[in-house]
Structure 1
Amino acid sequence: MRFLWPLLLLFSLGLSAQVRLEVETLGVNTSEGFICVALYTEEEGFLKFDRVYRSERAPARQGVTRVVIDDLPSGEYALAVFHDKNSDEVLNTNWLGIPKEPLGFSRARMKAFGPPGFRECAVLLDTDTTIRIPLE
């Protein structure tokens, strides 16, 4: 039993590991505004602004903009990124709900009739990771 405690301690420390996520947003067509990254942990709340687990933003840079999120617990996340060109902190849409600002997702692209689902976008983060997301 004495040998089991160190193993349990190491296992519990591994569960709470913190990772660094770097999101490289590709295809940024102007340096106006911000690139906003939203992380989601639940399928039910995916793409709902009030259900974002964590978010970060960085000033837009034409070409590639990097957004870094430190001290993120290991786990499964789905990412949504958008170019907030007018800096109003909202993804602007037209009257049909179609985005007017460029956006992108981890591991998936927009579909003909809407955004991808959580499972299509989900990535497991258990080490420091860089994810490249093209804007559409």
Structure 2
Amino acid sequence: MNSLFIYLSVLLGLLSNENPTLTINIHNIDALQGNIIIGIYSSEHGWLEKDSEIKHYRIPVNSTIESLVITDLPKGDYAVSMYHDANSDGICNLNFVGIPKEAYGFSNNFKPKFSAPKFKDCKFSFANDHIMDIKLVD
């Protein structure tokens, strides 16, 4: 009987370690066209580099507020980067000095001033269900 109790306790402990849910609400979408491209990064290494995100999402824009619900992200420290690919060309178009011409946003609603943000500027700890609101900037 005692071993059955231990077995059930271990089993319930494993089940309770499920991944929490991260909901990202994207605000300030100007045009109902294209896609929102979202990258989730887990470290400074590779931050904002193409194809180095641990998760990558493409959400078709259908309204002025879009949401993404992520249920398979383990607990940890992360940072989110996104842009509105309004022309659906698959890249974040930049002007001649390297500033995005398309609306973009970061976790913590970090707004860069003279250079791209660092991972630590956008980092957040993810341990429980979390709702994040990110406002795109033009």
Q: Is the shorter-chain TM-score for this pair beyond 0.5, marking a shared fold?
A: yes
Contact 1:20–1:127, Cα closer than 8 Å, also in 2: yes
Q: Provide, for residues 47-106 of structure 1, a one-character-per-residue CA deviation record: whole Å limited to 9, x for no partner.
A: 111211101121113421112222111111000111010112211112221101100101
Contact 1:84–1:91, Cα closer than 8 Å, also in 2: yes
2:121 counterpart residue number? 120
| Number of residues of Structure 1 aligned to a counterpart in Structure 2 | 131
Identity %: 32
Aligned-residue Cα RMSD (Å) equals 2.3
Correspondence list, 1:1-136, <5 A? 13=14, 17-136=18-137
Tell me the distance in 2 between the aligned counterparts of 1:95 and 1:131: 32
Tell me the distance in 1 between the aligned counterparts of 2:16 and 2:119: 22
Contact 2:106–2:134, Cα closer than 8 Å, also in 1: yes
From the two aligned structures, give the one with the greater strand fraction: 1
* Structure 2: gaps (5+ residues): none
TM-score (norm 1): 0.83
Tell me the distance in 2 between the aligned counterparts of 1:108 and 1:64: 15
Residue range with higher mean Cα deviation, 87-96 or 27-36 = 87-96
Q: Provide, for residues 24-61 of structure 1, a one-character-per-residue CA deviation record: whole Å limited to 9, x for no partner.
A: 11100111001111100011211111211101121113
Tell me the distance in 2 between the aligned counterparts of 1:108 and 1:24: 12
* Structure 1: gaps (5+ residues): none
Contact 2:109–2:135, Cα closer than 8 Å, also in 1: no
Residue range with higher mean Cα deviation, 14-23 or 89-98 = 14-23
